[in-house]
A and B are shown apart, each in its own frame.
Chain A
Amino acid sequence: MSKVEAILKQLADVAANPKKAMDDYKAETGKGAIGIMPLYAPEELVHATGYLPMGIWGGQKQIAKARTYLPAFACSIMQQIMELQCEGAYDDLAAVLISVPCDTLKCLSQKWKGTSPTIVFTHPQNRPLESANKFLVEEYKIIKTKLEKIVGATITNAAIEESIKVYNENRAVMREFVKVAADYPQVIDPVARHAVFKSRMFMEKSKHTALVRELIDEIKASPVQPWDGKKVILTGILAEPNELLDIFKEFGLAIVADDLAQESRQIRVDVIDGEEGPLYRMAKQWQQFYGCSVATDTKKIRGKMLMDMVSQTGADAVIVCMMKFCDPEEWDYPVYYRQFEEKGIKNLMIEIDQEATAFEQVRTRVQSFVENM
């Protein structure tokens, strides 16, 4: 097995088995893990406690128990998370951090069925205002106090600064990885690309950074090969499961960039350096964040952002991975769809249902799309 293959396998194993990743971390550090619900949270605060921030992004379960608490039209990922909660899948977590930028999350945050304590906080939506930053600092202070109580230790500013550094480094290396994946689609196929992203949800970030750094250096040692397939950009909440990504692979699609909440939106904006305290700078990161359906944007720049990504990467098309019943994403769609049509940007929408077991419809859509590109 080559070094590249070995690193990819290591990351894929973590992505496929988060429970083991968490248990290993606990055994190694003697510390626990804290769940991070989608979509965005000040993970640096959790990291600063020495606990492992564990992303919670659903699974592939058949939904039964969740029906007691959620209507059939709640988004697919929250159905999964509710089902897993009911099964006690998250009960090993010392706490769960929940942001509530959409209606579904608001409801879910009020009826957590696991046994771990929850810390719920709000992202301000009138983001350009300075008062939004101040509000978010107060929210972060509350999170910090609650975390301190749960882990039984004080979180110092120095520790937060160190965590910010670790996170900024990880975001930077992942942005570099996105470019490498675009240049070397023969090496990084859609499944491998996703595993590199997903594993960062379940690993201590400096360890993840080190592995991805090594991966990039190894890959870059070989020359770039021409790609005779098509190049696409993905947008949406997430693109799972692997069966879906296998279809992209089957029809020769390279993912040259993404705007997925689970992937590149997590690494889009760093926490800036500056004189202000760490919580304020972390709050500012939310103000500077852009291009996401749950971060209010009165100018609706997402379409333009995606079109810029198309021209920068030379992508042939954008694939919209529409999370089933995600209302924020559904609201954004007609706006950027119209912009795509006006500018002649090829686009395809596929529905993401984490419960899905059959993929024939998606295969037909993707095949038709590729045939007509």
Chain B
Amino acid sequence: MYTMGIDVGSASSKVVILEDGQHIVAAEVVQVGTGSSGPQRALELAYEKSGLKRADITKLVATGYGRFAFEDADKQISEISCHAKGIFHLVPTARTIIDIGGQDAKAIRLDNRGGVKQFFMNDKCAAGTGRFLDVMARVLETTLDDMAECDAKAEQAASISSTCTVFAESEVISQLSKGVDKNSIIKGVHQSVASKACGLAYRGGLEEDIVMTGGVAKNAGVVRAVERELKKKVIVAPNPQTTGALGAALFAYEEAKKMKKEGLE
């Protein structure tokens, strides 16, 4: 049986197709999100990769910021629940999840069965999210992919505030005009993102293992900054951008099983 999870985020669309709730047959990412062609393109990619079509999918669960806008879903489940589900499936020892996505950051506490004990999200503010990094990459004339490498070369981190993207942008510009080393500024930017996300994690209380997920977890500079801030080791989820979609596909599998059981009884 095949089930699908689609995570329609603010900045990207992710699709996972699962076989029998275990085997991932497709995990596709398109870097544009809700309101764009992203969800459709991610779907097409996943079908192409797996050789499946919509009729082969028993259940489809949508998650993410645009979950209600995606009409083809059997059910919508929040991204908090889906990330928790996906991560626990991949890393059963996970107890704290730090998820930094395109426009929000979350800290989720799990119990030992993968249930969500508590969660905190950032408030209507781009600071500490992927969007913040996008803005900074543009000002620093670099790419998101290169940022981690630059960070690794920096000796120290320039001080960049974590309260507001617009202020932080002007801080970066003034640091640049003062001739501060670009790598240090990048390290400072990562630190700023990390401190914001860690602020959420501290609220819920920290318990190991700590797992990072979301698109920003692909940036090793931010991961190192989080480890420095928490003074703890952090596990990066495999394929971190798709853990929400994976969770959704797992929920879809549970739904399908439930349906089948009810149908048999």
Chain A residues, Cβ within 8 Å of B79: 364, 368
With A360-B65, A361-B104, A372-B116 as given contacts, are A367 and B124 in contact (CB-CB < 8 Å)?
no
A364 in complex: contacting residue of B84, B118, B121, CB < 8 Å: B121
| Interface status of B58 (Cβ within 8 A of chain A) | no
A294 to B81, CA, bound (A): 36
A351 in complex: contacting residue of B76, B81, B123, B205, CB < 8 Å: B123
| Interface status of B119 (Cβ within 8 A of chain A) | yes
Contact bitstring A361-373, B, C-beta under 8 A = 1, else 0: 1001101100110
Contact bitstring A84-127, B, C-beta under 8 A = 1, else 0: 00000000000000000000000000000000000000000000
A368 in complex: contacting residue of B80, B104, B124, B205, CB < 8 Å: B80
Do B124 and A371 touch across chains, with their CB atoms under 8 A apart? no
A361 in complex: contacting residue of B115, B116, B121, CB < 8 Å: B121
Do B81 and A372 touch across chains, with their CB atoms under 8 A apart? yes
Do A365 and B81 touch across chains, with their CB atoms under 8 A apart? no
Residues of B within 8 A of A (CB): 65, 76-81, 84, 104, 115-116, 118-121, 123-124, 205
A347 to B118, CA, bound (A): 8
| Chain A CB within 10 A, most for which of B78, B79, B81 | B78
Q: Report B110 CB to chain A, min CB distance, Å.
A: 10
Do B65 and A368 touch across chains, with their CB atoms under 8 A apart? no
Do A365 and B65 touch across chains, with their CB atoms under 8 A apart? no
18 contacts between A and B (CB under 8 A): A353-B124, A358-B124, A361-B104, A361-B121, A361-B123, A361-B124, A365-B119, A365-B121, A367-B76, A367-B78, A368-B78, A368-B79, A368-B80, A368-B116, A371-B116, A372-B80, A372-B81, A372-B84
Chain B residues, Cβ within 8 Å of A361: 104, 121, 123-124
B-side interface mostly = mixed
Q: Report A14 CB to chain B, min CB distance, Å.
A: 31
Report how many residues on chain A are interfacial, defined by Cβ distance under 8 Å. Answer: 15
Chain A residues, Cβ within 8 Å of B121: 361, 364-365
Chain A residues, Cβ within 8 Å of B76: 367
Do B123 and A368 touch across chains, with their CB atoms under 8 A apart? no
A349 to B204, CA, bound (A): 12
A356 to B124, CA, bound (A): 10
| Chain A CB within 10 A, most for which of B77, B81, B120 | B81
The residue of chain A having its C-beta at the shortest distance from the C-beta of B81 within the complex is: A371
The residue of chain B having its C-beta at the shortest distance from the C-beta of A338 within the complex is: B205
Q: Report A57 CB to chain B, min CB distance, Å.
A: 22
A368 to B85, CA, bound (A): 12
Contact bitstring A308-351, B, C-beta under 8 A = 1, else 0: 00000000000000000000000000000000010000010101
Chain A residues, Cβ within 8 Å of B124: 353, 356, 358, 361
Q: Report A370 CB to chain B, min CB distance, Å.
A: 9
Chain B residues, Cβ within 8 Å of A364: 65, 78-80, 121
Q: Report A339 CB to chain B, min CB distance, Å.
A: 14
Do B115 and A372 touch across chains, with their CB atoms under 8 A apart? yes
Additional A-B contacts beyond A365-B121, A368-B116, A371-B116 (10; CB < 8 A): A361-B121, A361-B124, A364-B65, A364-B80, A365-B80, A367-B77, A367-B78, A368-B79, A371-B78, A372-B84
Chain A residues, Cβ within 8 Å of B123: 351, 361
Q: Report A372 CB to chain B, min CB distance, Å.
A: 4
A347 to B117, CA, bound (A): 10
Q: Report B66 CB to chain A, min CB distance, Å.
A: 9
Q: Report B236 CB to chain A, min CB distance, Å.
A: 23
A80 to B121, CA, bound (A): 25
Considering only residues 122-145 of chain A, those with a C-beta below 8 Å from chain B are none
Q: Report A11 CB to chain B, min CB distance, Å.
A: 31
Chain B residues, Cβ within 8 Å of A371: 77-78, 80-81, 116
Q: Report A152 CB to chain B, min CB distance, Å.
A: 48
A349 to B118, CA, bound (A): 10
Chain A residues, Cβ within 8 Å of B78: 364, 367-368, 371
Chain B residues, Cβ within 8 Å of A353: 124
A351 to B115, CA, bound (A): 24
Chain B residues, Cβ within 8 Å of A349: 120
Chain B residues, Cβ within 8 Å of A351: 123
The residue of chain A having its C-beta at the shortest distance from the C-beta of B77 within the complex is: A371
A360 to B65, CA, bound (A): 8
Chain A residues, Cβ within 8 Å of B84: 372
Q: Report A196 CB to chain B, min CB distance, Å.
A: 30
Chain B residues, Cβ within 8 Å of A360: 65
A286 to B115, CA, bound (A): 43
| Chain B CB within 10 A, most for which of A351, A356, A361, A372 | A372
Q: Report B185 CB to chain A, min CB distance, Å.
A: 26
The residue of chain B having its C-beta at the shortest distance from the C-beta of A347 within the complex is: B118
B119 in complex: contacting residue of A341, A356, A368, CB < 8 Å: A368
